[in-house]
Amino acid sequence: MQESAAKANRIVFAVTVSSESSGIRALMLARSLRSFGGKLSESPFWVLMSRAANPLPAAVLDGFAAANIRLILFDIDEGIFKFFFGAKTCASAVAEAEAREVTGLLAWMDPDTLIIQEPEELLIEEGKDLGYRPVHHLNIGSLYNEPADDFWKLIYEHCDVPEEAIFPMNTCADNLVIRPYFNAGCLVVRPENGLLHNWRANFLKLHREPFFEDFYDKDILYRVFIHQAILAGTILSSVNRERMQEFSDRVNYPLNLHDEYQENRKAKTLNELITCRYDVGFHDPSWREGIQINEPLGSWLQEQLEFKV
């Protein structure tokens, strides 16, 4: 009984990497958890990596060991590996399968994430099966007050989404009202439900269908984000809305889009956030000028950015 309770209250953090640069990002994310995660700072942290990817440098692997990161290698078809975010979709299902016996919650994140303070909000409430953030921008999404286009009709049809499952959701940065379109880089799931397994299954079934290839030919963004559209279809077909928990603006805040946020929703300091995403933001030498960063976070971040392999 005690073991079952401990499992239910445990959360595992997991990301996937495919290169040296994403490996370094994953290491920085794990270090941020260890440094600022509070009561959750010692939570298990897993890095999923396809055997089709180039091996990580020794310095990164040493960093993984020092941060108590578990590296999980998995096999994948070369065609899936080379398709945009195909490895990410498959890796999520591997992480979910690994997590099923050891944890009640799995936090699936993109490696360009930082944990700024104890991520207690990620411990989704009892009775909830999914914690999420909406996408930042409309992108290939569907405006709620307009008819669904042919692309989304295909998503709903082939993922078996009932019409009553569709509800309004606001994008994070431009605050548009859209049909549900979930950010694939910030999900908390209950592994026993198999949501990520279903996502992989739907992706493998659908992403090469000729009717989607037609959209890829029109606009590469459909090819890039088909995984995220299929995620939306998978969620809507298997998770009731009342069992979803939308995280606050302080979770998965896009630092690289800080200037696009409305003033009343814009973070005043980096320190007030729970988790943030930075994309390529730290490549800009003026990154510190975009948002106020108080100590000790500022010095810690500067030290991490100086990491070399």
Task: Name all domains of the chain by residue range, CATH numbers in brackets.
Answer: 2-305 (3.90.550.10)
Q: Is the pLDDT of residue 285 over 90?
A: no
pLDDT tens-place string over residues 183-209? 999 999 999 999 999 999 999 999 999
pLDDT tens-place string over residues 144-156? 999 999 999 999 9
Q: Is the pLDDT of residue 5 over 70?
A: no
Residue 57: cis peptide before it, omega within 30 degrees of 0: no
C-alpha dihedral (247, 249, 253, 255), degrees to nearest 10: 180
- Name the band, by pLDDT with cuts 50, 70 and 90, for residue 162: very high
Q: How large is the average pLDDT for residues 152-162?
A: 98
Q: How large is the average pLDDT for residues 212-223?
A: 96
pLDDT, residue 280, reads 79
Q: Is the pLDDT of residue 12 over 50?
A: yes
pLDDT, residue 9, reads 62
- Residue 107 corresponds to which tokens in the numbers above? 């936090």
Q: Is the pLDDT of residue 270 over 50?
A: yes
pLDDT, residue 4, reads 53
- Name the band, by pLDDT with cuts 50, 70 and 90, for residue 2: very low
Q: Is the pLDDT of residue 3 over 70?
A: no
Percent of the chain at pLDDT exceeding 70: 97
pLDDT, residue 289, reads 79
Cβ contact 246:186 at 8 Å: no
Q: Is the pLDDT of residue 106 over 80?
A: yes
pLDDT tens-place string over residues 114-138? 999 999 999 999 999 999 999 999 9
- Name the band, by pLDDT with cuts 50, 70 and 90, for residue 282: confident
pLDDT, residue 90, reads 97
Average pLDDT of the residues of the chain: 94
pLDDT, residue 308, reads 76
Higher pLDDT, 286 or 167: 167
DSSP the chain: -HHHHHHHT-EEEEEEE-SHHHHHHHHHHHHHHHHH-GGGTTS-EEEEEETTSPPPPHHHHHHHHHTTEEEEEE---HHHHHSTTHHHHHHHHHHHHHHTTT-SEEEEE-SSEEE-S--GGGSPPTT--EEEEE-SS-TT--BTTS---HHHHHHHHHTT--GGG---EE-SSS--EES--EEEEEEEE-GGG-HHHHHHHHHHHHTT-HHHHHHHHH-HHHHHHHHHHHHHHHHHHHS-GGGEEEPPTTSSEEGGGGGGS-GGGS-SBGGG-SEEE-TTGGGSTTGGGSSB--TTHHHHHHHHHT---
Burial level of 231, CB count in 10 A (0-12/13-18/19+)?
buried
Q: How large is the average pLDDT for residues 295-299?
A: 94
